[in-house]
């Protein structure tokens, strides 16, 4: 079974985020593997352990993406494809999905996995658009995948503790929710083996896709932090009444 896992390199959770001079994107900071994608990779590796086959990791971005690709190889992926692209910030979800779909198509995988959403933009769209571009049936928020005779049976997370079971044919695309599996740690043996695994680079020009964004990002800004403290006087009962009123009318959280 051939599985392609599309991953994204995102700013580290606790990295300092600074807006660039143009106000349209962020400055270079520290990066790490997007956590939902780590779960997608884990799902792929477990499926390969059960059913054999190949796990191919794919990511679009600048040169530094290579480090994260090597990490996924160290965790057990068989080979990687790097779509070299320096202007990810200027592309919208459709633009990125076009790149990824163009890179995936020649691979003709049985299954494509992506993380549910990215930790930086959190759009949750890229996987879905890729499925559409490739003409693949898809399902999102997946916690568990099982291979069947005809395709896959998957467990999908809904709200309030409800789950949905879906059957899909193969090939298909799934976006994976965090927490479905226990992640594995990177090992020394993994990283040594990763040195010999293939990382194939393909430029966005070679893929010859239409890059024009349909969604324009106008500006990026940091949220303003403000704090205001009000002391509520009176007895506990009086203060409680006043508090409820404020939460309802001023803060509008009730």
Partner 1 sequence: MILFPTLAEPQYFSLFEKLLFAALALTSAAAFWSRFGLVLDKILKSKQDPGFRLFPIGKRIREFVWEVLCQAKVIRERPLPGLAHAFVFWAFCAFALVTLNHCATIFGFGFLSPSGSIGRLYDYFAAAFAIVCSVSIFALFVRRFFIRPQWLGTKLSWESGVIALLIFVLMTSYLASFCVADASPSARILWWSHSLALLTFLPLIPHTKHLHLLLSPATVFLSRGSFAQIPPLAGDEDFGLVAGTDLTRLVSLQAYSCVECGRCTEHCPASNTGKLLNPKEIILGLRGYLNEYGPASAEPLLGKYNSQQAVFQCTTCGACEFQCPVGIEHLPILIGLSRGAVNTGTWEDQHGSRLFLALERGSNALGISPTERDRFIEKNALPLFDGTQEYCLWLGCMGAYDPKGREIVLALVRVMSYLGTSYGVLRKEKCTGDAARRLGNDLLFQQLAEANLQTMAENKVKKIVSICPHCVRTIQEDWHEYGTPPAVEHHSEFLARFVSQLPRTIDSGFSPDIESEGCGGFNPRIKPTAPEAALAPEAEQTTSTLRPEKIVYHDPCYLGRYRNVYDQPRAIVSLAGELVEAPRNRERSFCCGAGGGLVFLGEETGERISHNRVHELIATGAQTIAAACPFCNTMFRDALAATGDAAPELLDIAQLVARTLPQGGVS
66 contacts partner 1 (rule: CB under 8 A): no
Write each residue from 25 to 64 as x if it is in contact with partner 1 (CB under 8 A), else as -, in one continuous string.
Answer: -------x--------------------------------
Q: Which residues 6+ apart lie within 8 Å of 250 measured at CB? A: none
- The phi and psi torsions of 71 (rounded to 5 degrees) equal -60, -40
The residue (of 13 and 227) whose beta carbon lies closer to partner 1 is 13
Looking at the Cβ atoms of 64 and 105, the one nearer to partner 1 is 64
Helix (H, G, I), strand (E, B) or coil at 47: helix
Token match 């949750």: residue? Answer: 124
Q: Which is nearer to partner 1, 61 or 190 (CB)?
A: 190
Q: Two tokens at 57?
A: 């990791």
Shortest Å distance, C-beta 175 to partner 1:
21
Phi, psi of 184 (to 5 degrees): -95, 155
Does 155 interact with partner 1 (rule: CB under 8 A)?
no
Q: How far apart are CA 125 and CA 115, in angstroms?
A: 10
Which residue number, 14 or 218, has a Cβ lying nearer to partner 1?
14
Q: Binding of partner 1 at residue 67 (CB under 8 A)?
A: no
237 is a contact residue toward partner 1 (CB under 8 A): no
Nearest-approach distance from CB 71 to partner 1, in angstroms: 9
CB of 75 to partner 1, least distance (A): 9
Between 148 and 187, whose beta carbon lies closer to partner 1? 187
Q: Pick between residue 12 and residue 132 the one whose CB is nearest to partner 1.
A: 12
Give CA angle at 126 (22, 205), nearest 5°: 65
Residue 24 binds partner 1 (CB under 8 A)? no
Residue 12 or 78: the one with the smaller Cβ distance to partner 1 is: 12
Buried b (16+ CB within 10 A) or exposed e, 191-227: eeebeebeeeebebeebebebeeeeeeeeeeeeeeee
| Secondary structure in 3-state letters for 136-158 | CCEEEEEEEEEECCCEEEEEEEC
Contact track, partner 1, 176-215, x by CB under 8 A: ------xxxxxxxxxxx-----------------------
Distant-in-sequence, close-in-space partners of 178: CB < 8 Å, separation ≥ 6: 35, 36, 39, 115, 116
222 touches partner 1 (CB under 8 A): no
Tell me how far, at minimum, the Cβ of 21 lies from partner 1, in Å.
24
Q: How far is the CB of 252 from partner 1 (least distance, A)?
A: 28
Residues in binding contact with partner 1, number by CB under 8 A: 16
Are 23 and 221 in contact by the 8 Å Cβ rule? The answer is: yes
Contact footprint for partner 1 (CB under 8 A): 12-14, 32, 74, 182-192
């Amino acid at each position: 079974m051939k599985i392609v896992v599309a991953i994204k390199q995102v700013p580290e959770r606790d990295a300092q985020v600074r807006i660039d001079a143009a106000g349209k994107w962020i400055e270079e900071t520290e990066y790490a593997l997007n956590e939902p994608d780590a779960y997608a990779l884990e799902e792929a590796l477990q499926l390969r352990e059960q059913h054999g086959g190949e796990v191919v990791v794919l990511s679009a971005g600048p040169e530094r993406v290579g480090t994260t690709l090597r990490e996924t190889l160290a965790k057990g992926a068989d080979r990687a494809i790097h779509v070299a692209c320096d202007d990810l910030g200027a592309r919208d979800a459709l633009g990125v999905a076009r790149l990824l779909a163009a890179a995936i198509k020649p691979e003709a995988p049985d299954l494509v996995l992506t993380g549910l959403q990215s930790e930086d933009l959190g759009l949750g769209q890229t996987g879905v658009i890729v499925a559409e571009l490739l003409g693949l049936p898809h399902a999102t928020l997946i916690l568990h995948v099982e291979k069947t005779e005809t395709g896959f049976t998957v467990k999908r997370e809904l709200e309030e503790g409800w789950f949905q079971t879906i059957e899909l044919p193969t090939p298909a695309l799934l976006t994976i929710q965090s927490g479905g599996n226990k992640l594995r740690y990177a090992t020394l043996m993994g990283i040594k083996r990763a040195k010999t695994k293939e990382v194939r680079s393909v430029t966005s020009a070679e893929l010859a896709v239409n890059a024009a964004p349909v969604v324009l990002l106008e500006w990026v800004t940091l949220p303003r932090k403000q704090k205001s403290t009000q002391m509520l006087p009176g007895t506990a009962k009086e203060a409680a009444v006043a508090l409820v009123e404020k939460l309802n009318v001023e803060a509008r959280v009730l």
